[in-house]
Each structure stands twice: as structure tokens, then as C-alpha cells.
Amino acid sequence: MHPLPVPKKHVSWQTWGYHWRSSDTFILSSMSMALFTDEMLFAFMVPLLPYIFENRLELDTSLTQRLTSLFLVEGALISIISSPFVGNIADRASSKKVLLLVLLVLTLISVLCLSITTSLTWLLIGRFFQCIVSNALFIVGMATMTENIGSEHMGKIAGLSTTIVAAGTCSGPVIAGFLFGIGGYWTAWAGAALFLVVDIIMRLLMIEKPQKRRETACQDRNSSESLCAEEQTPSSETEPLLDAGQSSSTEEIGGWSFYVCLFRQRRFTAGVTCYFVFALFIACFESTIAMHVRYAFGWGVFPVGLLFASIQGPGMVLAPLVGYLKDRVGSRVPTTIGFLSVAPFLWFLGVAGDERFPWATLGTRGKIIYAVCTTMIGCFMCLLMGVGTMEATATVDELEDLHPGVFGPYGGYSRAISITNMSWMSGLLVGPILAGFMVERFGYFELQCVLVVISLLASANAAFYLRPTSPRKGECNTSEFGTDEEL
């Protein structure tokens, strides 16, 4: 009567370094390194492209700018298209560790192919596969952190990932340029390969310990004290998963039905929409600031770089703090305040340097107003970080708590995060199109007025539909999602 399961600590003695290899710190370090390398490699080729096009491919210099734009747009489009397929595959994998190892090896192969190619066709094909693998690394990496650390820490995870992604994006061109300068073309690519080798080693050492496996969710449902068995008050916040006459024994939802199910949850849709608007703002700034300040103030490359640093810098510093705040109070209040606070500074951004507003153009007043506004926008946009991933993982958690196994034995984190990734990339794609159209047809001030309206609408969306508080792990918030019979 005594043959009990082997205690976890005994397993740890049998596995070398189990405690530190499965610790939250090592898992976060491994995934952080993976995300950093992923973003660094995505931007790594930007300073190398002129050399590749003109020296290795021997193309005319007049084509360099056009091909560079095509190269970058290709990445955004592929990320949007591939995200749902990547998420579906990732959620069917029993071990994220093995999938991550495969993706890292594929990334190493794609880097090798990109470095040795001397054909434009093969360069674009190599970029195609690199973008798919890079997108998969981001989705699987975020899902791995959520599964192993716990979605109740999603705010801190999102804050950490925001800092890492920004650091990788900013350092990629710097590292490539530095290595190219000291050792040439092959030294630069060798540096990229070294990052991947370190990633692979860390992934081999990491031991998964997912805390939110779907097959164990609400396993005490059959007891009288089950969290998910109590009767709850019906709510109209969430659309039903199941028809009224259908059995309460939940069947797995897969394929496109999974995405339909998620989008029927208002808070998920609201989070994805806020994430799209956040990316739209970033893309509009990136595509218009350089040209506008050169025309309005006569500023060159260095001041433009400082303006971008004033927008992106606060996020790198404040993102972990904002993530901690959102874990405590939820997404609704910070995101609503963020959009409301950004709106007036967007308007002043359009006013500064516009001759229709003489009070904002006298002397250096326009330059000061513009610089202050970009800094304040950078500070307040920190409150928007992670809203998509937080709402996505919380929605999956709460539906799984109410209907164990509804999204399969390994859950739906990867598929949910893939949707937020699609919304982000869509914002980055739509932003330059909107900005270019508005500036060319109407003007920079008119563009900022449109962004103000979008920001106010996004704040209303956040105030009405985002989560007011952040539920703790193990809590089944059935008052929001309804009971089995209701779903």
C-alpha cells in the first residue's frame, strides 16, 4: 500500500544539474537568449545588404534601395502569413525543447545559405525560409516561457521580451557593422553563427517543467471543493463555445475553429486590436520622422537617431516595471491610460514646425516641442507593451480551466501568441502605407490628427473590453467565461 510515485527531488538527483537546468532563471535566460538572437539576426543583414547586392551579386547600385525595401517587406509579409501555421504545429508538439532545437538548427542552415549565395533568387529564397524560422522561434519561445514560468507572470514575461526584442533589433546592425569593419564579410557571418551555437547549447541543457499542462488543468473537478465545479452567475461578456443543447463534455477544438473561438472572446479581440494599433504607431513614426524633421527643422542623421532613441529607449528601461504592474492590476487601466496620454502629444507632434501654427514655430520652440513630444510618447507607450500576449494567454488559460482539454493535450498558447504576432506585423505593414498616403495627400499634421482619433478609439476599446484585473494561476474566472452549460 506504499508504492507511491517517485518524488520529484529523487528525479532531480538522477538528472545532472536538474535544479539549475529546470530553474526559472535558466529557462528565462535560455529563452531570452533565443529571442535576442532571433531579433538580432532579423536585423543583422541590413548594413550588409549594400555590400551583398553590389559586390557579391554584382547588381547596379541604383537597385540597392529598391531591393533593400523588398527584402524588408518580404519579412513582414511572411511573418503574417506563416504565424497561424507555426502556432498550430507548435501546439501539437509534446516538447517545445525539441522543436526549439530543430528551429535553431534550421536557422543556422539558413544563415549559412544566405552567407554563401551569389544569386538574387536564392537570396530571396533564403530570406523566405529565414523569416519563417525566425517567426517560429519567437512564437515557440514566448509559448515556452508562458508554459514553464506561468501565465500569471505574463506581464513580466512580456516586459522582459520587449526589452530583449528592442535590444536585439538595435544591436543587430551594430554587431554586423562592427564585425564587418574589423574582419570583413565572413567574420560578420561567423559572429552570427556563434550566437546560434551558444543558443543550441543552452537549449540542450534546459529541462522543461511546464506548470500549465492542459491534461492536468482543474484535475480536482470531481471533488466537492473543485474550483471549476461551482455554479456561477451567467455572463454576457463571452460568446459561447458550445451550442446550448450540446453535451458539457468538451471536445477538442482545432483547425480554424480554434481561431474563431478566440475571436469570439471580446477581451482577446480587444487585446489583439490594441496590439495592432501600438505597432501602427511605431511604423508611422519610423516611416515619417526622418523626412519630416529634415523638411521642418533641417535636422540630419544624428538628431533623427536621438529622436528614435527617445521613442524606443523608455520602453527598454520601463518595460519590466510595466509588466510587473500589469501582472498586479491587469491590462485595462494601464493600456487605457497609455492611449489617452499619447493622444495629445501626437497632436502637438503635428503642430510643431507647422507654419499654420506660428506659436509653435518661433525660434527653436518647434524643435523643443517636437523633441519633448517624442520623449513623452516613448514613455507613455510603455503602458501598451505586452497587451496582446497577456490577453491571449489569459483567454486560453481561463477557457482551459473551464473546459480542460478543449485546445488539445498541449494547450493553445502557441496558436494564441501567433495571432498577436500577426496583429503586430500587420500594424508594421499598414503603418507605412497609411503614413505615406496621408502625408502625400494631406500633410504631416493631418496624419497626426488621424493617429489621435485612432488612439482615442483604442483607449475606449481597452476601457470597455480588456481585463480589469490579472487572475492568479489556478483561478477559474467563470464569471467572465460562463459555465460548461453556458459555453
Mean pLDDT of 55-78: 79
Asked whether the predicted pLDDT for residue 41 surpasses 60, the reply is yes
Confirm whether 16-210 and 253-470 share one CATH topology. Answer: yes
Which pLDDT tens digit goes with each residue over 417-476?
888 888 988 888 888 888 888 888 898 999 999 999 999 999 999 999 987 765 544 444
Half-sphere exposure of 195 (CA within 13 A, CB side): 24
Residue-wise burial string across 290-326, b where 16 or more C-beta atoms lie within 10 A, e elsewhere: bebbeebbebeeebbeebbebbbbbbbebbbebbebb
Lowest mean pLDDT among 87-91, 119-123, 259-263, 451-455: 87-91
Q: How would DSSP label each residue in 134-166?
A: HHHHHHHHHHHHHHHH-GGGHHHHHHHHHHHHH
Mean pLDDT of 272-285: 91
What is the Cα 359 distance to its own chain's centre?
A: 40
Q: Is there a contact between 44 and 169 (Cβ–Cβ < 8 Å)?
A: no
pLDDT at 210: 58
DSSP one-letter code for 238? B
Say which CATH architecture domain 16-210 belongs to.
Answer: Up-down Bundle (1.20)
Nearest to 134 by CA among 168, 91, 170: 168
Q: Is there a contact between 388 and 423 (Cβ–Cβ < 8 Å)?
A: yes
Say which CATH architecture domain 253-470 belongs to.
Answer: Up-down Bundle (1.20)
Please tell me which residue, 176 or 276, carries the higher pLDDT value. 276
pLDDT at 458: 95
**Spatial separation of the C-alpha atoms in residues 86 and 137, rounded to whole Å:** 9
Which pLDDT tens digit goes with each residue over 350-383?
998 878 888 877 778 888 999 999 999 989 998 8
Q: Is there a contact between 370 and 452 (Cβ–Cβ < 8 Å)?
A: no
Domain range list for the chain: 16-210, 253-470
Q: Identify the burial level of 10 via C-beta atoms within 10 angstroms of its C-beta, where 0-12 means exposed, 13-18 middle and 19 or more buried.
A: exposed
The overall average pLDDT reported for the chain is 78
pLDDT at 470: 52
Which pLDDT tens digit goes with each residue over 118-133?
888 888 888 888 888 8
Using a pLDDT cut of 70, give the percent of the chain over it: 83
Residues 6+ apart with CB under 8 A from 248: 242, 484, 485
Single-letter amino acid, residue 232: Q
Mean pLDDT of 174-196: 87
Asked whether the predicted pLDDT for residue 216 surpasses 60, the reply is no
| Phi, psi values for residue 80, rounded to 5° | -65, -45
pLDDT at 348: 92
pLDDT at 224: 31
Which pLDDT tens digit goes with each residue over 401-415?
888 878 777 778 888
pTM comes to 0.72
Lowest mean pLDDT among 34-43, 203-212, 259-268, 378-387: 203-212
Question: How confident is residue 243, by pLDDT bands cut at 50, 70 and 90?
Answer: very low
